[in-house]
């Protein structure tokens, strides 16, 4: 019993930054999707991520051959050779990448200082959201994986390695291709969950449990996305890998600036049909509180 408690405590205390990101994910996802969809995606997303990691350390697919170093076994939770926190991190990375893609794709309405993303089921479950969201997640890994590989130089610890030194700061290109595939599968799973549970919730004709009209709710997940980037770049500078950090900054400067410019320029530039379609699916949306001016 004492060993179980030690592992449980260690799982929580050894990776506080992971749990902070996970808590932020829960807030953003529940307010956006509701409790049912969030819980379902957390479980299904974790299982997809775990299966991909278990497969790769045993067969080399989809990330290429890598291995985990069991230095923390007995101190935190491991499942079949994979640290629990590692597969769990895929869940919040996938969601914040997907939600950032939705912010790029959906029209935006300004309501009394708030910004409402005029999402519809068609936008949420579109191929565009799948493609853009999965690419956003791969871009995160381009920053996180190289610094995680240097875990012996910061508080992560050396937890894994690749059998062969890769071309990108030690990370093989197969890793990023694998991330793109797994990210796409996870987001596709989220889209299926959104469709199936969304149909059941629509029959009840009331707001799903957990969804709230919090101020600037549509920006929570993109902000989490930026926090993950900032955290990893900060660690990269901290360990003295300036070229690695500058490469990450150069990679993200264009997509971040483009997203911000697009967001600013499309505020209130939506069609009446966009607003009507949004309210038809989400009648509880704050966008219904005022008609606003529509620029055609």
Are 150 and 237 spatial neighbours (Cβ–Cβ below 8 Å)?
no
- Identify the domain containing residue 119 by its residue range: 2-11+19-289
Q: What is the mean pLDDT of each run of 10 residues along the chain (296 residues)?
A: 73 87 98 97 98 97 94 87 95 98 96 91 97 97 96 91 93 97 98 94 84 93 97 97 96 93 93 94 84 42
Contact by Cβ (8 Å): 164, 172: yes
pTM for this model (two decimals)? 0.94
pLDDT at 10: 77
- Residue 295 in any domain: the answer is no
Residue 178: its pLDDT value, please? 98
Q: Residue 242 corresponds to which tokens in the numbers above? A: 């300036």
Q: Is residue 294 part of a domain?
A: no
3-class secondary structure per residue, 229-257: HHHHHHHHHHCCCHHHHHHHHHHHHHHHH
Q: 213 lies in a domain?
A: yes
What is the rounded CA–CA span in Å between residue 282 and residue 173? Answer: 41
Residue with tokens 């996802």: 29
pLDDT of residue 295: 40
Provide the β-strand partners of residue 160.
68
Q: CA 197 to CA 37: how far, in whole Å?
A: 7
The DSSP bridge partners found for residue 267 are 108
DSSP 78: E
pLDDT at position 294 is 42
Q: What is the pLDDT of residue 90?
A: 98
The residues, ordered by sequence, that sit 6+ positions from 283 with a Cβ below 8 Å of its Cβ are none
Q: How is the chain split among helix, strand and coil, in percent rounded to 5?
A: 70, 10, 25
**Tokens encoding 139:** 């871009």
Q: Decide if 173 is inside a domain.
A: yes
Q: How many domains, the chain?
A: 1
Q: Residue 115 — φ and ψ, nearest 5°?
A: -120, 120
74 in any annotated domain: yes
Instruction: Compute the distance between CA of residue 281 and CA of residue 211 in angstroms, rounded to an integer.
Output: 14
- At residue 290, the pLDDT reads 57
């Amino acid at each position: 019993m004492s060993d179980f408690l030690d592992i449980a405590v260690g799982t929580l205390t050894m990776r506080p930054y992971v749990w902070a990101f996970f808590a932020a994910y829960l807030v953003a996802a529940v307010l956006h999707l509701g409790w049912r969809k969030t819980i379902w995606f957390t479980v299904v997303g974790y299982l997809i991520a775990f299966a991909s990691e278990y497969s790769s350390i045993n067969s080399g697919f989809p990330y290429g051959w890598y291995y985990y170093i069991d230095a923390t076994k007995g101190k935190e939770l491991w499942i079949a050779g994979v640290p629990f926190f590692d597969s769990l991190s895929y869940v919040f990375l996938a969601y914040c990448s997907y939600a950032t893609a939705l912010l790029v794709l959906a029209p935006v309405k300004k309501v009394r200082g708030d910004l409402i993303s005029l999402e519809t089921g068609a936008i949420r479950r579109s191929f565009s959201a799948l493609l853009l969201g999965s690419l956003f997640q791969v871009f995160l890994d381009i920053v996180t994986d190289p610094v995680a590989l240097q875990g012996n130089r910061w508080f992560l610890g050396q937890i894994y390695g690749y059998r062969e030194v890769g071309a990108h700061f030690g990370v093989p290109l197969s890793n990023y291709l694998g991330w793109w595939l797994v990210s796409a599968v996870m987001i596709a799973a989220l889209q299926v969950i959104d469709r199936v549970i969304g149909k059941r919730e629509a029959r009840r004709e009331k707001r799903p449990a957990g969804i709230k009209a919090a101020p600037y709710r549509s920006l929570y997940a993109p902000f989490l996305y930026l926090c993950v980037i900032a955290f990893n770049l900060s660690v990269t500078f901290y360990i003295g890998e300036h070229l690695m950090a500058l490469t990450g900054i150069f990679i993200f400067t264009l997509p971040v600036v483009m997203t911000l410019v697009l967001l600013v320029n499309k505020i209130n530039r939506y069609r009446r049909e966009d607003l009507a379609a949004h309210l038809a699916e989400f009648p509880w949306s704050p966008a219904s509180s005022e008609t606003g001016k529509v620029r055609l």
